Copies of this chain bind each other. A is one copy, B any other.
């Protein structure tokens, strides 16, 4: 990703947070993580993240999704003898479609961006609704037409350990000046 693209995505994410009445500090605003997963198509597969806290006992983040933006399918493996990350997604704004293993519904609201999406049991999250994923659950999620904001409460986060279905994904971004 180019730095200019990151700055633009940060600006848009911060506007969505502000419009939702979610305050962040100046430091958090400067360091909003923009993840394109090394794919170079942020609008369709990407995620904007404000990490509130990530210590050795728990983690809390705000996840911002642009309209129809998708967080690619992945799971959280055990790390250094600890169970994989367990996480609760709580929708704060917009609508977010979460997909996990299980029977696909008759209608699947989101459109998978490509062939690297394999689970289609749909959970619809509207503001105030939440879902807790057991460790090692394969999952992906996509925002509706207005985008979405999701609070993530979880056990500690070790992003670099995540296992993505798409072998082209690099979780830790490479920034070009």
Contacts and interface: CB of A to CB of B under 8 A. Distances in A.
Q: How many copies does the complex hold?
A: 2
Given A153-B53, A153-B153, A25 B60 contact: no
Interface string A104-143: 0000000000000000000000111110100000000000
Contact of A58 (B57, B93, B130): B57
Interface in A11-52: 20-25, 28, 52
A60 B88 contact: yes
Which of A23, A90, A154 gathers the greatest number of chain B CB atoms within 10 Å?
A23
Contacts of A93: 21
Interface size class of A (residues with CB under 8 A): 20 to 34
A132 B59 CA distance: 12
A154 B58 contact: yes
Contacts of A75: none
A154 to B, nearest CB: 6
Interface in A87-113: 88, 90-93
A25 B131 CA distance: 12
Contact of A23 (B25, B53, B128): B128
A127 B55 CA distance: 21
A92 B21 CA distance: 9
Contact of A53 (B57, B59, B88, B126): B88
A-B interface, 9 closest residue pairs, ranked by CB to CB distance from nearest:
A23-B128, A23-B127, A21-B21, A60-B153, A58-B58, A57-B155, A53-B88, A24-B128, A25-B128
